[in-house]
Amino acid sequence: MNWDFQHQCGRLIVVVILLTVFPMMAILVGESSEPVRPSRSTPLRALVVTGGHDYETSFYTVFEGYDDLTWSHAVSNQAAFKSDIRKKYDVLVLYDYTQELDEAGRRNLRDFVESGKGVVVLHHAICSYQDWDWWTHEVVGGKYLLKPEGNMPASTYKHDEELAVTPTRRHPIVDPIGAFRIRDETYKGKWISADNTVLMTTDNPTCDPPVVWISSYPKSRVVYVALGHDGAAFRNPSFRALVRNSIFWSAGRLK
């Protein structure tokens, strides 16, 4: 075999290797840099997190009866975020009331949120992580004050209030629902970010006017729903639709 033939064979081998390896590298880079959205033909996967606050088990019925939604239940935030959950779920639905979360748990929760997955925060979950400003001020865009802070007194609550809830703008979460009435627990005196997009309000004097908002957090779709204390709310068709729409919108499934 002469040198020219060996040289040509060597060049051919190099070209084949480059054509094989570079596309595979591009695919791998693409997979790591782009968040993977669930296919619309597959059920949405939600993780419902509770713990730290009593609630009626009829709460679970809010998520039942849907062919396009599957859900798992974590009985505490420690159980929910003990490992990386980005590949397991599309949306977090938080109904817990807790302050403690270890470093690994905080990292896994933050990784999930920053990956572009959906987050729905319900009712008393706005009380969680009082000392974690990233969570309260950036992600949720609100905080129930368990004690006075600066010139703000502690927030207050009142059971068994009648609320008239009214949309403030057009949005896929609230458009199919419209105005409705509900009997629920109210919160007043929360810190609420001025950058939130408020979707629904109430004029009940024992409640802060915004009861549904989208936070301004840029890396994920985050919805807060102030309603949802007990069975009176869980059985309310408008509340049930509000939670469902929030879940699907936060996952990018509702346009």
Where residue 22 falls among pLDDT bands split at 50, 70, 90?
A: very low
> What is the pTM (predicted TM-score) of this model?
0.84
pLDDT in tens, 3-19: 444 445 455 444 344 44
Domain ranges of the chain: 41-250
pLDDT in tens, 87-140: 999 999 999 999 999 999 999 999 999 999 999 999 999 999 999 999 999 999
Q: Quick check: 36 pLDDT over 60?
A: no
Spatial contact of 85 and 110, defined as CB atoms under 8 Å apart: no
Class of domain 41-250: alpha beta
* Span 210-216, average pLDDT: 98
Where residue 38 falls among pLDDT bands split at 50, 70, 90?
A: low
HSE-CB at 53 with a 13 A cutoff on CA atoms is 21
Q: Quick check: 246 pLDDT over 70?
A: yes
pLDDT at 15: 39
> What percent of the chain shows pLDDT beyond 90?
84
Question: Tokens 């049930």, residue?
Answer: 240
pLDDT at 35: 47
pLDDT at 17: 41
pLDDT at 214: 98
Q: Quick check: 82 pLDDT over 80?
A: yes
Spatial contact of 29 and 23, defined as CB atoms under 8 Å apart: no
Please, what is the Cα angle at 90 between 211 and 187, to 5 degrees?
15
pLDDT at 255: 80
Within 10 A of 7 (CB to CB), how many other CB atoms are there?
10
Output helix, strand, coil percentages for the chain, rounded to the nearest 5.
Answer: 35, 25, 40
Q: Quick check: 29 pLDDT over 60?
A: no
pLDDT in tens, 139-193: 999 999 999 999 999 999 999 999 999 999 999 999 999 999 999 999 999 999 9
pLDDT at 24: 43
